[in-house]
Structure 1
Amino acid sequence: MDKSTLITKLSLKYGFILGAVLIVISLTLYFIDPFMLYTNFAMPFIILIVFIALLVFSGINIRKEIGGYWTFGEAFKSFLIIALILSITSVLYNVVLMKFIDPDLPAKAAAAIEDSQRAMMEKFGMASEQIDEAMTKAGNMEEKLAPTLKNSFTSFGVSIAMYAVLGLILAAILKKKEPVTFNTLPQQEA
Structure 2
Amino acid sequence: MNEQPSTARVALKWGAILGLVLIVITLVMYLANQTSNPWFNVLTLGAMVAVLILAMQEYRSLNGGYMAYGEGLGVGSLLSAIAGLLSAAFTTFYNVVIDPTIQQRALDQAREKMEDMGNMSEESIDQAMEWSQKLQNPGFTFIAGVFGALIIGFLLSLIVAAFIRRNKANPFE
Fold similarity call, TM over 0.5: yes
1:17-166 equivalent positions in 2, closer than 5 A: 17-33=17-33, 36-37=34-35, 39-119=36-116, 121=117, 126-127=118-119, 130-140=120-130, 141-147=132-138, 149-166=139-156
Rounded to whole Å, the distance in 1 between the matches of 2:49 and 2:115 is 32
Compute the TM-score of the two structures, normalised by the length of structure 2: 0.83
Rounded to whole Å, the distance in 1 between the matches of 2:90 and 2:24 is 11
Q: Encode CA deviations 1:109-136: one digit per residue, 9 max, x unaligned.
A: 21122223433x1xxxx35xx2535524
Match of 1:15 in 2: 15
Rounded to whole Å, the distance in 2 between the matches of 1:116 and 1:159 is 26
Q: Encode CA deviations 1:39-92: one digit per residue, 9 max, x unaligned.
A: 223431332133223322332233223322111111111111101101111220
Cα deviation, residue 166, structure 1: 1.9
Tell me the percent identity: 22
Instruction: Tell whether 2:169 aligns with 1:168.
Output: no
Compute the TM-score of the two structures, normalised by the length of structure 1: 0.76
Distance change >3 Å, CA 63–CA 98, structure 1 → 2: same
Structure 2 unaligned segments of length 5 or more: list them: none
Cα deviation, residue 24, structure 1: 1.2
Q: Is the 8 A contact 1:109 1:142 kept in 2?
A: no
| Equivalent residue letter for 2:135 | K
RMSD: 2.4
Moved over 4 A (4+): none
Distance change >3 Å, CA 170–CA 54, structure 1 → 2: same
Rounded to whole Å, the distance in 2 between the matches of 1:20 and 1:86 is 8
Q: Which has the larger radius of gyration?
A: 1
Distance change >3 Å, CA 57–CA 4, structure 1 → 2: closer
| Equivalent residue letter for 1:59 | M
